[in-house]
Chain A
């Protein structure tokens, strides 16, 4: 009995960590820029492919294996900080005046384009990079063994969450960011370079998606269509938590991770259903998500 509970808990926490990593960039971008970025999943896929290439090179050049994780991290940063600013400067910055829904459609178009660009660069055959996953070995709880990679993902999620909270609350840049979140126009009037904040935020959001993709890559086969499912899952997490809220994403990720792992162990046919079920349930009682501020209606 206790073994089973532990099993559900460990699987659930692992999935929660993944959900959090996948969704946190989306909520950051929405919070600051009010953009629901459908292309988020493509940045996730880009991170995964970039990781596949970098680790591939790492293995052939026989570099030390304990630096795999640095390689994954660097791959994610490269994918986020090159394509992210490019997309923001070339396409998105001219659209901020438009309606939220129109911007959503533009990022949807961007998603379609990026999916095929990724196929053009990396081809349609799957990539496998299990080395970083296998290198860490296993740990066991009771009769069950789990990969140590679980601990890495969990630690990464905690680190990302703490870093973001620290930057938002304690640094100069974080204060500027919070001011832009509350009122874009007043911040601009106070002399904050909103354009610059937007580029940085968008790039960081994309890099976070890249980090999620890069660190998931060793556990899956990196193949086309990778981003398609991630988008809707991270939407579900972010909307349930309350668009733009950091603690909201964390809480929603934990709830959904645990509920899903419970379902997989006891009622496996509800696996996909349950995540969107939780989302619909939360939204029907709290229409703007768990952690959301009341918003005045404009007449």
Chain B
């Protein structure tokens, strides 16, 4: 496996944050972990943006992952985080595989709205299921990491460390995938699907494959969020969650596998600051920044880097 320069840089940043974690306040560590979880789901969304598709139902897999982790921990007393996360990824992946047979045929608005319908179906079911706490959701028990039960003072850092590990693995994998012939097909499908098919490639199979990959990524993100927050509820599958993810994806741009995480971090910062100053207008701040990004930076924040990088050389 050849490592991309940006992934090595990301690893260095992660190690730096972990080493300095003693100086970072708890709320910032929490925000970072949530940004990591969102970033994972958005990484999946970014794959679709490359193919010109926008899914309004990414929250479905985020929620599936979270509930899979939560249920395993609560009902089966499995509290090993590595195990929980792997199973959540598999559960979301399976769900994506099944739904993919239907969704891979759709493009444009219909792809977005049908995926929205699926996430709302899950929401509708969870809200009415008394056994799973209905609208209140339920608390996820404390987890162990490789058999070690972290003390309350270090649990945030430990979960963050695990999140970093998962991100590095996923980002390397996605990067490899995007550079493979299958990955390059995504852009071809966006530009002209029929021509891509004339070259002998199957658009449907490609979309289906990436739908599963994106489902697994979102599932992993959901599991991280479930463990980090310690509580899950059906709003994780509501359409506004998907909307926030799309916002992050547009904000970061599709230029790099790192972009979703930068987008998620900035979303976290905007959210935290705007929410603490005026809880009734934070949505407006998000909305205005979305309009700003779409109109002025159609390729997301990542395009800034390329712009300024070129200017230097």
Contacts and interface: CB of A to CB of B under 8 A. Distances in A.
Interface in A241-299: 243, 268-277, 279-280, 283-284, 287-288, 297, 299
Which of A100, A268, A273 is the most central at the interface, judged by chain B CB atoms within 10 Å of its CB? A273
Given A271-B124, A272-B123, A287 B105 contact: yes
Given A112-B290, A235-B113, A273 B125 contact: yes
Interface string B90-123: 0000000000001001101110111011101101
Contacts of A283: 106, 110, 114, 117
A279 B290 contact: no
Contacts of B149: none
Contact of B286 (A112, A236, A288): A112
A101 interface: yes
Which secondary structure dominates where chain B touches chain A?
A: helix
B246 A108 contact: yes
A163 B77 CA distance: 61
B128 A104 contact: no
B102 A106 contact: no
A119 interface: yes
Interface stretch (B12-20, B27-35, B213-221, B276-284): B276-284
Interface in B258-287: 280-284, 286-287
A273 B123 CA distance: 8
A108 B117 CA distance: 17
A279 B117 contact: yes
Contact of B109 (A124, A231, A243, A284): A243
Which of B110, B112, B113, B298 is the most central at the interface, judged by chain A CB atoms within 10 Å of its CB? B113
A232 B109 contact: no
A287 B123 CA distance: 23
Contact of B110 (A120, A272, A287): A287
Interface string B203-245: 0000000000000000000000000000000000001100100
A231 B117 CA distance: 12
A239 B56 CA distance: 14
B288 interface: yes
Given A108-B246, A235-B116, A299 B194 contact: yes
A239 B195 CA distance: 28
Contact of B283 (A36, A106, A115, A236): A115
Contacts of B192: 299
A231 B56 CA distance: 13
B124 A272 contact: yes
Which secondary structure dominates where chain A touches chain B?
A: helix
Contacts of B243: 108
Given A110-B287, A243-B109, A273 B121 contact: yes
Interface residues of B, number: 42
B8 interface: no
Contacts of B140: none
A70 interface: no
A109 B290 contact: yes
Contacts of A91: 291
A288 B117 CA distance: 14
B71 interface: no
B67 to A, nearest CB: 16
B110 to A, nearest CB: 6
A117 B194 contact: no
A116 interface: yes
A122 to B, nearest CB: 11
Interface of A: 36, 91, 99-102, 104-106, 108-113, 115-117, 119-120, 124, 228, 231-232, 235-236, 239, 243, 268-277, 279-280, 283-284, 287-288, 297, 299
30 contacts: A91-B291, A100-B108, A100-B109, A101-B54, A102-B294, A104-B112, A105-B246, A105-B250, A106-B291, A109-B287, A109-B294, A112-B287, A113-B283, A113-B291, A115-B284, A116-B283, A120-B280, A235-B116, A239-B117, A269-B129, A270-B124, A271-B124, A272-B123, A272-B128, A275-B124, A279-B114, A280-B118, A288-B110, A297-B194, A299-B192
